[in-house]
Structure 1
Amino acid sequence: MKKLLLASLVSAALLGTTAAQADDYVIDTEGAHAFIQFKISHLGYSWLLGRFNDFEGTFSYDEANPEAAKVSVVIDVASIDSNHAERDKHLRSQDFLNVSEFPRAQFESTSYVANGDGTGVLVGDFTLHGTTKEVAINVSEIGAGPDPWGGYRRGFEGAITFAPADFGINYDLGPAAETVEIFLSIEGIRQ
């Protein structure tokens, strides 16, 4: 009986030390170590590039169980910045983002499928312009480790291409501009 009890305690101790828990991270927007950028064709002749300056978010990640990853991001769409004030004013208008009615965009993950090589597909609900759709973002882990200030950081990048019309943004910019690409570079600080 004592041997069985001792074996049970040792097994429980070993399982307790090998069971990993997800680490929670806050996306480092304060230190400007995270970016949400976009790219859309301008009449088929060049690319219009820009970014969203104000956003916040969190993620959870467990190296031993990446499929349990969770991500939540909220974007202030009025913070759109294409490096041209008049164009940004137009992008904020009812023709495009309609920020007076839809001031935020949001992404909430629902699943993550790891490929086993530091890449994977993050699936979730993306809300833009008052419309929510399921999207899949191809992601890659950039790295993780201690920072010079005594913290621990983890970074990912990802990209998604979608049609603004799918979210009710129907301003005609020509056939070359029917899709927009969003690029994310996210660095989180472990909490």
Structure 2
Amino acid sequence: MKKLLLATSITAMMAIPAQAADYVIDTQGAHAFVQFKISHLGYSWLHGRFNTFSGDFSYEADKLTDAKIKLTIDTTSVDSNHAERDKHLRSADFLNVSKHPKANFVSTKIVPKAGKEFDLYGNLTLNGVTKEVVIAAEKLGEGNDPWGGYRAGFAGTTTLTLKDFAINTDLGPASTTVQLELVVEGVRK
């Protein structure tokens, strides 16, 4: 009887599909970043970041295509290391934060590439406009941390055309796109 119960329990456990682990993006420890750069007149780069954002993701190493990520960015937290420029970036000329204080990204699919690289597809809502974007991403690593938790980290980049998100201010021909870089380290819940 004990053997039958054990065999039945093992069979039942094998029939249950493995669940992806849920992670919260570690913004508390500043182990995640949302940064951007845009050409300044074709002569140099203007760099900036969003200081406040949050998100989570579900991920299982052997089922990457099932992974999901959600990210919310507080656009009022834009920081280009220049107060007057940041005020202008928050205005209706750019991010229009009085009407659209948040930007959101929700993944829709993942397409694996070579090694640890993959394309992350999703819908980005920025300045009241939602468009599909593709983030060229890579898994950086995963494992136990020194505090008894388990972490997974990823990085990715994408290029956004400003006019696609109703940002129509003319910055010159060298400044029609912005490069966005995301680095996320998640702590398993």
Kindly provide the amino acid, as one letter, of the partner of residue 11 in structure 2: A
Q: Secondary structure at the match of 1:65?
A: helix
Match among 56, 71, 74 for residue 72 of structure 2: 74
The separation in 1 between residues aligned to 2:15 and 2:114, in whole angstroms, is 24
Is 1:109 matched with 2:91? Answer: no
Q: Size of the alignment, in residue pairs?
A: 186
Normalization by structure 2: what TM-score? 0.93
Is 1:169 matched with 2:167? Answer: yes
Q: Measured at CA, do residues 24 and 14 of structure 1 come closer, stay the same or move farther in structure 2, by a change above 3 Å?
A: closer
The separation in 2 between residues aligned to 1:66 and 1:152, in whole angstroms, is 17
Task: Tell me by how many angstroms 1:10 deviates.
Answer: 7.9
Q: Secondary structure at the match of 1:86?
A: helix
Task: Give 5+ residue unaligned stretches, structure 1.
Answer: none
Match among 95, 98, 121 for residue 97 of structure 1: 95
Equivalent in the alignment of 1:12 = 11
The separation in 2 between residues aligned to 1:123 and 1:11, in whole angstroms, is 37
Within 5 A, what are the aligned runs for 1:25-174? Answer: 25-115=23-113, 117-174=115-172
Task: Tell me by how many angstroms 1:11 deviates.
Answer: 7.3
Q: Structure 1 runs of 4+ off > 4 angstroms? A: none
What are the superposed Cα offsets for residues 82-122 of structure 1, whole Å, 9 maximum, x if unpaired?
00000000000111111001100000011111225111011
What are the superposed Cα offsets for residues 14-56 of structure 1, whole Å, 9 maximum, x if unpaired?
7348x43201000000110000000000000000000000000
Normalization by structure 1: what TM-score? 0.92
Task: Please say if residues 20 and 64 of structure 1, whose CA atoms lie closer than 8 Å, have aligned partners that are also in contact.
Answer: no
The separation in 1 between residues aligned to 2:91 and 2:52, in whole angstroms, is 18
Tell me the C-alpha RMSD between the 2 structures: 1.8
